[in-house]
Structure 1
Amino acid sequence: MRTERNLTRLDRVFARLDREPERPAHLDVPRMSRHRVVLCGSTLAFYLAIVVAVLTTSWLVRFDWQVMFFRPYQQWPEIHAFLDYWVVLGQRGPTAVMVAAWLGWRSWRQHTLRPLLMFGAALLLLNATVGAAKIGMGRLGPHYATAIGSNEMWLGGDIFPSGHTANAVVTWGILAYMASTPRTRRYLSALSAVVSLSVGLTTVYLGTHWLSDVFLGWAAGLLILLALPWFEPLISRIEAAVLGLRDSWRARRAGTAALPGPVTAPVGVPAMVPQRPAAEESAPARETVGAARAGRPPAYLAPGPHTARSERTPVTPAGSRRPPHPDRVSRGTTSARPVAGG
């Protein structure tokens, strides 16, 4: 008796992937709706508020110092080893490789470059905005602070805003942004929020960032994710241009392959000449030979006017075998003398 194997959850996942269309016709692409514009404006206001609070050495700076003197890594040393590895989820290099591998597979599966292009645009915006803010404000971290209670601004540092936090928001948030259904986007948004919050708090635990650095990093990463729909038209044009170049290159390769050069037979092997039908060869072949005869005399004929054999006098090395005779006429002509009878 034959029994069928029960499908595991992994088998069902792969079966679902196999049934997925190669290029979905209707993707739920995020748009710059009014709700998103309001969120973007609120996040920008929060970003500016954090910057102003730090520049004016407000209560936020004092709270930064209180957290630093609390030294969380000394209060809970048992989780220090785990959080040393967990903070890697905010480092740009390893996370970019992992997310790019997943989005690259999605691009290959769906025959579209949009996932990779959107991820590249998000990383470019992240490096430009966060890097410029870090260099421009130059804040020192807790381990390098010079004066208790100061905001440590414009002293050559590069920690404000937190790069680990902003990178975690953008890198893991782009997975939610690229989700194909609203339900999947909600789940991935919640997951990326948890990861980015935990990575930001981990940097505070390790003493590498002020708490205000983490707040500004969250705002900086969220601003990039909220602004991505504005770049969708540009990404579509770039994708169309790249795919057009690919199609033209394939067309050139196909045209070159369709016109092969002359085939030469190997040495010692007679070349196989394809036979044409007799109806094809008859008329053109005779015309070609006739044209060749009219244009150039055959090689075996002597140059000059060609005469019949009966009109030519046999020639020997010693001269003609017939002596000249005035009454001799050529063969084929009628004699002028009367024929005697009798």
Structure 2
Amino acid sequence: MRTDIFARLDREPEPPKIEIPRMSRTRVTLFGGTLAFYLAIVIAVLASSWLVTLDWKIMLFRPYQQWQQLHAFLDYFVVLGQRGPTAVMIAAWLGWRSWRQHTLRPLLVLGASLLLLNVTVGAVKLGLGRLGPHYATQIGSAELFAGGDIFPSGHTANAVVTWGILAYLATTPRARRYLSIGSSVVALGVGATTVYLGTHWLSDVLLGWVAGLLILLALPWFEPTIARTETAVLAVREQVRARWRERRGTVSGPAPADGPWPVIVPQLPAQEDEDAGRSTVGTAHSGRGTAGRNTTAQLTQPRSHATARSERTPTTPAGSRRPPRSRPVTGG
């Protein structure tokens, strides 16, 4: 019976399969009801209804002056709704998940949700142009079309989307349930903090919650586009890798078959046989020594500088058969 770590790994369950959410009837119904609530809030503000009156009552109450001991903490807590810091934190976590799961889907889902958030919330902000509580000019007025950009609340919508993505991408029902509760607490807290600090009307926060929820509910409609984008990005990555490998192979690979190959000149042996001695002596007797001989092979072949001149083997053969008038042969 094995008791090592491999035996434990054999009993470990396989990682859960990543299931992509689909646009079911329940989700479509929730999306429709949330959209209706979104339109109702916009109409209530446009008509300067009881919701605008409630906005003014909370603003004149000035919560930031009632509980001043919470002000320092909430100044830092509201950062959880700022797009820059939260996007960096969530992108780092989803990047690690993408590496572990060998898929770009988490990062692409985050990018798609933030793009939808900027387009939808930004368009309504600029279109309605509502001023914030600190810049209000007339009591009881909705402060619309005055060049502002706070309706709906961007902090609140960003908190819903950014932290809600973690629950949307969860791979198990238990993780999805816990992450949904945690993201809801953060989103509700960020929205309430903006009302406490006096930077948003209550109706701004309500519309921000609904706007972020609409984006999370609509994400399954964009899953096919996200899948196609992932396929295209991976295909481009493989093309870049292939070109890089081809370039490296061209630079550091072997020379072509018809290219100039170096020719190795063999060294003469330390002791030559009798026939080699005769041939060398005959050459020396004819007045052309080995040192001064220039043949076609020597002109075309590179000289070998592997050994020093003092270490080269002398080419003068040893023996007593040298002719009496022969000139000594010097080798190099």
Using the size of structure 2 for normalisation, the TM-score is 0.72
Letter in 2 for 1:86: F
The answer to whether 1:51 aligns with 2:14 is no
The answer to whether 1:156 aligns with 2:181 is no
User: Deviation per CA, 1:141-173, whole angstroms, max 9, x where unpaired?
Assistant: 100001000110000000000000000000000
Letter in 1 for 2:88: V
Partner of 1:196: 187
The answer to whether 1:79 aligns with 2:65 is no
CA distance in 2 between partners of 1:262 and 1:193 (Å) = 65
CA distance in 1 between partners of 2:119 and 2:80 (Å) = 21
Partner of 2:226: 235
CA distance in 2 between partners of 1:126 and 1:20 (Å) = 38
SS state at 1:101 partner: helix
Structure 1 residue 182, shift from structure 2 partner: 1.8
Partner of 2:3: none
Task: Identify the match of residue 142 of structure 1 among 129, 133, 139.
Answer: 133
SS state at 2:65 partner: helix
User: Deviation per CA, 1:198-249, whole angstroms, max 9, x where unpaired?
Assistant: 0000000000000000000001000000000000000101101111121222
CA distance in 2 between partners of 1:81 and 1:272 (Å) = 82
- Residues 89 and 20 from structure 1, CA distance in 2 versus in 1: closer, same or farther, beyond 3 angstroms? farther
Any residues of structure 2 matched to 1:111-260 within 5 Å, and which?
111-258=102-249, 260=253
Partner of 2:300: none
Letter in 2 for 1:203: T
Matched residue pairs, number? 252
After TM superposition, which residue ranges in structure 1, 4 or more long, deviate above 2 angstroms? Answer: 248-259, 270-273
Partner of 1:92: 83
Structure 1 residue 31, shift from structure 2 partner: 1.1
Structure 1 residue 44, shift from structure 2 partner: 0.4
RMSD of equivalent CA atoms: 2.5
CA distance in 2 between partners of 1:180 and 1:188 (Å) = 11
CA distance in 1 between partners of 2:176 and 2:182 (Å) = 10
Q: Would the aligned equivalents of 2:16 and 2:171 in 1 still touch at CA under 8 Å?
A: no
User: Deviation per CA, 1:302-327, whole angstroms, max 9, x where unpaired?
Assistant: xxxxxxxxxxxxxxxxxxxxxxxxxx
Using the size of structure 1 for normalisation, the TM-score is 0.70
Give unpaired runs (5+ residues) of structure 1.
Answer: 1-14, 264-269, 274-298, 300-342
Structure 1 residue 25, shift from structure 2 partner: 7.3
Task: Identify the match of residue 70 of structure 1 among 27, 40, 61.
Answer: 61
- Residues 213 and 20 from structure 1, CA distance in 2 versus in 1: closer, same or farther, beyond 3 angstroms? farther
Partner of 1:262: 255
Give unpaired runs (5+ residues) of structure 2.
Answer: 1-7, 257-261, 266-295, 297-332
CA distance in 1 between partners of 2:24 and 2:208 (Å) = 24
